[in-house]
A and B are shown apart, each in its own frame.
Chain A
Amino acid sequence: MNLFRLMGDVSHVLAVFILLAKIWRTRSAAGISGRSQILFTIVYLARYMDLFFSFISLYNTVMKLLFISASCATVYLIYFKFRATYDGNHDTFRIEFVLVPSLLLAFIFHYSMSFFELAWSFSIFLEAVAILPQLFMVTKTGEAENITSHYLFALGSYRALYILNWIYRYYTEGHFDPIAVCAGIVQTILYCDFFYLYVTKVLQGRKLQVLP
Chain B
Amino acid sequence: FWRTALHDEL
Contacts and interface: CB of A to CB of B under 8 A. Distances in A.
Interface stretch (A59-67, A100-108, A143-151): A59-67
A180 B9 CA distance: 10
Interface in A167-193: 177, 180
A87 interface: no
A117 B3 contact: yes
Interface string A90-115: 00000000000000000000011000
Q: Determine the main DSSP class of A at the interface with B.
A: helix
Interface string A127-167: 00000000000000000000000000000000000100100
Contacts of B4: 50, 54, 56
A60 B10 CA distance: 7
A116 B4 CA distance: 11
Interface residues of B, number: 8
A93 to B, nearest CB: 25
A50 B7 contact: yes
Across the A-B interface, the 10 shortest Cβ-Cβ residue pairs: A54-B4, A56-B8, A63-B10, A9-B10, A120-B7, A56-B4, A177-B6, A111-B6, A50-B7, A60-B10
21 contacts: A5-B9, A9-B10, A50-B3, A50-B4, A54-B3, A54-B4, A54-B7, A56-B8, A60-B8, A63-B10, A64-B10, A67-B10, A111-B2, A111-B6, A112-B3, A117-B3, A120-B7, A162-B9, A165-B9, A177-B6, A177-B9
Interface of A: 5, 9, 12, 50, 54, 56, 60, 63-64, 67, 111-112, 116-117, 120, 162, 165, 177, 180
